[in-house]
Amino acid sequence: MTQDQARFAEDFLPPDEQDTATMRRARATDTTEGRMFTVTGGDWEDLLADNEFEHDERIIINMGPQHPSTHGVLRLILELEGETVVQARSVIGYLHTGIEKSCEYRTWTQGVTFVTRADYLSPAFNEAVYCMAVEKLLGIEVPERAQVIRVLLMELTRITSHLVALATGGMELGALTGMTAGFREREEGLHLMEFLTGLRMNMAFIRPGGVAQDLPENATERIAAFIKIMEERLPEYDKLLTGQPIWKARTVGVGLLPLEGCMQLGITGPILRSAGLPWDLRKTMPYCGYETYDFEVPTLTEGDCYARFLLRLAEIHESLKIMKQCNERLRQPGPVMVGDPKIGWPAQLSIGSDGMGNSLEYIRKIMGQSMESLIHHFKLVTEGFHVPAGQAYVGIENPRGELGCHVVSGGGTRPWRVHLRDPGFVNLQAMPAMSEGSMIADVVAAVASIDPVMGGVDR
């Protein structure tokens, strides 16, 4: 009788005999997930007598992927002994949207609309690093005013992103007033972003060669008003959280990751700077003219959740300092897109009276110049511009660390490959090192201090 015939015959045995027949195929093996059993023969009592269970007091639980403390659709598998986390693993991929692959089916300019949605809390950084990589392949220099606008938008985005980190971290640890205050200030930042670019998030305002259009009238006054509001409200966080004993009890000495651990895991951003290393690409590898701005890189040496909270608060102050300098430089007029008409068409567009599309003045200008001008505009919009064959990598400092973009061109009007090095993806490796050996409640604090955004992690 074959093995399949034997199993088929067992289905017709009485229940007690079925169990006995099933146990004839039992054996134990050690795997990476622990002791596993394959039933091959014998009796359960005999089987268990031959095996010693080393971790019979442990349980495995899932935290997520819809748990409010997992920053979105992140799944944490925690192996526990009582309340102590013995082993922690993260499972990602629940928010995979194919952003990098989708860029291969659009023009270089249209790719901005995809990458801006990766890390949806820092869209300006996604747009900037992608456009800088494209510009590196094109070998073009962006006008100074466009560089200033890019820096302004990135620092505004850094502030709003850090406010979300502070707000959600406070919510997960029970500081609900910190949550409401953080989102209140974030709304101020998003209102300013909407005034400057037309959209609160996923603006697609930074384009290859510059930015889509110049800032609206009274932009400097609105920027100054935002800076004034933030400087008045930021001290509230010190009164509310910095010296609060319960907040410190939940964060001081929790989620420790020393400098050597950061270096081994490739950690960047506030986590690395909380361990004492002042690594910030705006200073160490300047871009967009950051070397001409006056600002500091805050660092601490404790390497815990509390240090990361203090660093993000300090970085908001430094970003406001940079925004002030940008506001002064915006008083000088200038172009916001490269002068090459084969690349710079977006800068000539402006919003129409209906809030959408091109202005009538621009349409009349294009229609009235020549048929060649109209054909050229049509080809730029639909077909896009050609980028020389080659590959380029650019890294910038986003709110979570080093954000990199690697683009490969085959010489056509579409990317051959686009890849983002998202710091949230890399930093999430630190979760087990921060969490194992601590309590379940400390896992919540550790993940909040990492500040992963799953849109950027999964892409």
143-175 in b/e form (b: 16+ CB < 10 A) is bebbbbbbbbbbbbbbbbbbbbbbbbbbbbbeb
Contact partners, residue 289, CB within 8 Å, separation at least 6: 144, 147, 148, 151
- Residue 186's pLDDT is 93
Q: What is the structure's pLDDT at 46?
A: 65
pLDDT at position 344 is 77
* Closest C-alpha among 280, 275, 278, 269 to residue 255: 275
The pLDDT score that the predictor gives to residue 162 is: 94
Instruction: Judge whether 424 and 451 are in contact, CB under 8 Å.
Output: yes
Q: What is the pTM of this model?
A: 0.83
Judge whether 279 and 298 are in contact, CB under 8 Å: no
- Written as six digits, the tokens of 195 are 């005034």
Question: What are the structural domains of the chain?
Answer: 3-49 (no CATH), 59-91 (no CATH), 99-343+385-458 (1.10.645.10)
As given in the structure block, the two tokens for residue 120 are 């949806």
Mean pLDDT split into 10-residue runs, the chain, 459 residues: 44 46 51 60 58 66 76 86 88 90 92 92 95 94 94 96 91 86 92 92 91 89 94 86 86 90 92 93 94 94 92 94 95 88 62 52 69 76 89 95 95 94 93 90 91 90
For the chain, report the end-to-end CA distance as a whole number of angstroms.
52
CA distance 406 to 365: 38
Can the peptide bond before residue 65 be classed as cis, meaning omega within 30 degrees of 0? yes
